[in-house]
Structure 1
Amino acid sequence: MQENSDPPVHRTSEIFLALKTVGEGERISLDGLTRALGDRAFGLLVLIFALPNIIPMIPGVSTVSGIVIGIVGLQMMIGRHAPWLPAAIGEKSIPRAQLAAMVDRTIGWVAKVERVARPRWSFMTRGPMHVILGAMFVLLGAILALPLSWVGNFPPGVALVVLSIGLLEDDGMLVAAGHAIGIVATALVLALVVALVAAAITSFGWLTA
């Protein structure tokens, strides 16, 4: 009987936990992290930079997260097979201890979403839908880059986690759910921005009256 020689397919949570051992030294460059992610780098980069936005853990990370996720989405839209980061971003590094702490604090989220994920509706992750998925990454990344509080970052962060795990697990149904969450998150953030602008105008008008 012929043995199956195909390499085992690792679940997202297994690869995510392995991030703690990537590279050497006390800091990991974003370029080095990207290269270590291999053929699943698009989804994993989005997941890595989305997760800090669903936990009030690292102040100020949302702007960098949004920029990286937006760059990843743009490259998906133009059909690149592997992500590339500009030198100004790729040369930046993060402390290994901080990355490990983020992994430990968010692995539960990854595992919960992963438990419902399985290969299905593959058309949602390929061809034209792959481009649309990239466009959603760009949109949600742009929202994360805005100077909003954690409350404003949480909804798009959740959408990005669901979308990225759906992409990684080839689960088109999960990707569809992520698109729906992303649309709702965008509407909520727009409502929040409109409310803040209205409050500022009202306050300014009261101060100058």
Structure 2
Amino acid sequence: MSMPMTAQTDRTLLQTIEILAEAAPEEGFSLREIFDRLDESAFGAGLFLLALPCCIPFLYGVPQVVALPMLALAFQMVIGREEPWLPAKLAARKIDRKGLTQMARGGRKWFGWIEAIIRPRLSVITGRRSERVIGAFLFLFCASILVPLPMTNTVPGMAVAVTAFGLMQKDGLAVIGGSILGICWVGALIAGAFLGLNVITHISTAVFGS
């Protein structure tokens, strides 16, 4: 039996995900196996990893696998849990090797730049006292990923990923940026829903009368 591959202190999270994808069998790994191999006990790393497939356009199937676990982790932040935990059914969900490879490539493509500019700053934003508030925002962003419409994963996925990366690296500016992106997206969804409802109401009135 092979030993778990753990993240090394001199290896970035993106590099670790790339190595994980290369080492994966064809059937992939369960979320629990992935978390164990990353050897991460922080919410930021877990949410970043799970958000990656949501950021990749036209990657179908995997976002639906990770959406509920993302909600579970965000909720745990809200209630003040110190370490992430997944229920057995969610932890058993698998991402196959193809999905992991796409996640690794997408992570490098979309977030490779952030490794060069992210750094600890505005520490009050990433402290324990702020984590519950950030968790509430992340919960909303993760919930919006479940909206059953095409192309609705990418923007909230980006928001979660940037915010989570900021949490992981103690970069309050990144957390603020990701949160603003997510809030704008949720606001756009709500506005779109109201607009759609008004259109339906007007059409119904025109066709059937008041």
State the TM-score, normalizing by the size of structure 1: 0.83
- 2:20 paired with 1:15: no
Give the aligned partner of residue 99 of structure 1: 100
Task: List alignment gaps of at least 5 residues for structure 1.
Answer: 1-6
Distance (whole Å) between structure 1 residues aligned to residue 200 and residue 36 of structure 2: 44
Note closer, same or farther for the CA distance 1:124–1:155 as it changes in structure 2 (3 Å cut): same
Question: For the Cα contact (< 8 Å) 1:123–1:129, is it kept in 2?
Answer: yes
Question: For the Cα contact (< 8 Å) 2:28–2:100, is it kept in 1?
Answer: no
1:35-76 residue CA offsets vs partner (Å, 9 max, x unmatched): 222235522221222222232232254444332211111112
Give the residue type in structure 2 aligned to 1:195.
Answer: L
Note closer, same or farther for the CA distance 1:49–1:79 as it changes in structure 2 (3 Å cut): same
Task: List alignment gaps of at least 5 residues for structure 2.
Answer: 1-7
Note closer, same or farther for the CA distance 1:45–1:207 as it changes in structure 2 (3 Å cut): farther
Question: How far 1:155 moved relative to its partner?
Answer: 2.3
Q: Percent sequence identity over matched residues?
A: 28
Give the residue type in structure 1 aligned to 2:17.
Answer: F
Question: How far 1:207 moved relative to its partner?
Answer: 5.5
Question: How far 1:118 moved relative to its partner?
Answer: 0.8
1:72-114 residue CA offsets vs partner (Å, 9 max, x unmatched): 1111222323211112211121211221122113312111222
Distance (whole Å) between structure 2 residues aligned to residue 191 and residue 153 of structure 1: 17
Q: Which moved more, 1:8-17 or 1:118-127?
A: 8-17
Note closer, same or farther for the CA distance 1:34–1:12 as it changes in structure 2 (3 Å cut): closer
Note closer, same or farther for the CA distance 1:23–1:40 as it changes in structure 2 (3 Å cut): farther
Question: For the Cα contact (< 8 Å) 1:11–1:169, is it kept in 2?
Answer: no
Question: For the Cα contact (< 8 Å) 1:72–1:137, is it kept in 2?
Answer: no
Note closer, same or farther for the CA distance 1:179–1:100 as it changes in structure 2 (3 Å cut): same
Distance (whole Å) between structure 1 residues aligned to residue 90 and residue 121 of structure 2: 35
Question: For the Cα contact (< 8 Å) 2:26–2:98, is it kept in 1?
Answer: no
Following superposition of structure 1 onto structure 2, how do residues 82-93 of structure 1 map, counting pairs within 5 Å? 82-93=83-94
Following superposition of structure 1 onto structure 2, how do residues 118-137 of structure 1 map, counting pairs within 5 Å? 118-137=119-138
Give the residue type in structure 2 aligned to 1:82.
Answer: E
Give the SS at the match of 2:153. helix
- 2:172 paired with 1:168: no
Question: How far 1:206 moved relative to its partner?
Answer: 5.2
- 2:59 paired with 1:52: no
State the TM-score, normalizing by the size of structure 2: 0.83
Distance (whole Å) between structure 1 residues aligned to residue 22 and residue 76 of structure 2: 27
Give the SS at the match of 2:29. strand
Distance (whole Å) between structure 1 residues aligned to residue 17 and residue 161 of structure 2: 12
1:105-132 residue CA offsets vs partner (Å, 9 max, x unmatched): 3312111222220111222112211111
Give the SS at the match of 2:95. strand
Distance (whole Å) between structure 1 residues aligned to residue 56 and residue 70 of structure 2: 17
Q: How many residues align?
A: 202
Distance (whole Å) between structure 2 residues aligned to residue 22 and residue 75 of structure 1: 30
Give the aligned partner of residue 109 of structure 1: 110
Note closer, same or farther for the CA distance 1:170–1:201 as it changes in structure 2 (3 Å cut): same
Q: Which moved more, 1:125-134 or 1:47-56?
A: 47-56
Give the aligned partner of residue 140 of structure 1: 141
Distance (whole Å) between structure 1 residues aligned to residue 190 and residue 56 of structure 2: 21
Question: Considering only aligned residues, what root-mean-square deviation do their CA atoms show, in Å?
Answer: 2.4
Give the residue type in structure 1 aligned to 2:159.
Answer: A
